[in-house]
Amino acid sequence: MSERVPERPRANFVAALHVRRNAVRGFGVALLVTAGVLALFVFLPGTRRATPYYLALGFVLATSLGALATTLLTLLSAYRLAKETDPD
C-alpha cells in the first residue's frame, strides 16, 4: 500500500503523449493548408460571393483539420510510447 500514486495522473498522461506539441504542429499545418485552399480556390480566381462566407468556411476547415491532425499525431505518440514501454 505504500506505492506512490502520481499527484496529477491526467497531466502526466498528457505530457507523456506530447499533446501540446502535437496541437501546435497540427493547427500550424491546418492553417497553412487552409490558407493555400483559400488562395487557390477563392482569392486567386476571384469570386462574386461575399468574402466573409469564405472566411467562415476557412475557419471551419482550419479547426476541423487542426483537430484531426492533432488527434492523429497524438495517436502516433501513444503508439510510439506503447511500443517503447512494451516489455517484449
Any idea where the domains of the chain sit in the sequence?
18-82
Range 16-42 average pLDDT: 94
Has residue 74 got a pLDDT over 80? yes
Average pLDDT along the chain: 88
Predicted confidence (pLDDT) per residue in 43-58, tens digit: 888 777 788 888 999 9
CA 36 to chain centre: 18
H-type alpha helices, 1-88: 9-16, 19-38, 51-84
Alpha-carbon gap, residue 11 to 39, rounded angstroms: 39
